[in-house]
Amino acid sequence: MDNSHFSTLINNFQQGIFGALNEKKEELLKEGRKVYNLSVGTPDFKPAPHVMKAMQEACGKPESYKYSLADLPELLEAVQYRYKKRFGVEIDTDEVMSVYGSQEAMAHIGMIFCDPGDVILVPNPGYPMFEMSGIMAKADVQYYTIEEKNGYLPDLDSIPAETLKKTKYMIVSYPLNPVCVCAPDEFYEKLIAFAKKNDIVILHDNAYSDITYTEKPGKSFLAYEGAKDVGVEFYSLSKSYNLTGARISFVVGNKDIISKFRLLRSQIDYGIFYPVQYAAIAALTGPDDFIEEQRQEYGRRNRALCGGLRRIGWNVPDSRGTMFVWAKIPDGYESSADFCMKLMERTGVIVTPGSAFGTGGEGYVRMALVVDENTIEEIIRVLDESGMFRS
């Protein structure tokens, strides 16, 4: 069938640079070349044994295969427990709901806020799913620029008043993928006041609060006074607990938003598979020393990669948060995509061009900390031998 059979929405989706990178990767593999894939943010750590055991036991029970229809009370209590223990935040059971991963939730939540023509605000550069939440809701997606010179924090005062009048919600996320920075306390305080003043909902994506490299541990948006009045937070088990394939996250915060979103999702699915719910309960309430151990290991990888790159002539700052590193491309390349292709051809190292995260990402690349230190040292050696970073 030709494209006339399909919607404008789907016809506008393109693989772009990711398709080109994958084709080049397959070519290199067929040639017998070694490939180092730092482009995808999938943790290489294993889930904790007690979490896998809970999943396995639940899978052995026939009643686990029925429609779940709703979150188990024990699951909601587990989220309450985790938020109190980890963030010092009290939440009620009507202030939390499960979703099939933060990406699915982000794709659908715009539908409860927006009519065609309403505005949403998303960061540029930012995670591509942020803008998709508006596209799926047929909203007008507007971008707020975040720049290195401002610590990748938005200048809230620079957003035009006319834009704010039409804005339904603003998506914020720190530690922020792809730029790998954290936000200070005073930013959240200003953000909440800004949201109240302009009657805007805040959606905070909190996927990486357990992977930070600063003196203070990552926080929850809900830990700041007034946050529940203006928004909700997406809390994922994918990165902290290495449950990416299980697709289990939570939306936590304003109970009216939770109620409307729960109503919408009741039209879409029949609830999270019971074994996944039991695995999440075990994760949220069980021992969590391994999370800190992982954070320390990510930190070692962060220092090994960034320090190694600086040693061979690529001036890459250490990441402050997330499981990624954000780096300005060396001089002499037409674009971040051009650099990525040449890097892969010369070295077999695959990284993600910053342009994949918006126009503000042009001139940068993102690298995932998904290989051990020995492999990182091998990557540094290969890059050095390529001569690409020598002046």
Task: Supply 24's token pair.
Answer: 């080049």
Please check whether residue 127 is in contact with residue 171, taking contact to mean a CB–CB distance below 8 angstroms: no
For the chain, list the domains and their CATH numbers. 3-46+290-386 (3.90.1150.10), 49-285 (3.40.640.10)
- Extract the runs of DSSP E, i.e. beta strands, from 78-164: 96-99, 119-124, 140-145
Q: What is the pLDDT along the chain (391 residues), one digit of tens a residue?
A: 888 889 888 887 766 666 777 788 898 899 999 999 999 889 999 999 999 999 999 999 999 999 999 999 999 999 999 999 999 999 999 999 999 999 999 999 999 999 999 999 999 999 989 999 999 999 999 999 999 999 999 999 999 999 999 999 999 999 999 999 999 999 999 999 999 999 999 999 999 999 999 888 899 999 999 999 999 999 999 999 999 999 999 999 999 999 999 999 999 999 999 999 999 999 999 999 999 999 999 999 999 999 999 999 999 999 999 999 999 999 999 999 999 999 999 999 999 999 999 999 999 999 999 999 999 999 999 999 999 997 6
Q: Name every residue whose Cβ is closer than 8 Å to that of residue 90 and which is 6 or more positions away in sequence.
A: 80, 83, 84
Question: What strands, in cross-sheet order, belong to the sheet with 167-172?
Answer: 96-99, 249-253, 231-236, 201-205, 167-172, 119-124, 140-145
pTM exceeds 0.85 for this model: yes
Residue 212, Cα to own-chain centre: how many angstroms? Answer: 14
CA distance 356 to 349: 17
Give me 89's structure tokens.
Answer: 């935040």
Helix (H) or strand (E) holding 308: helix 289-311
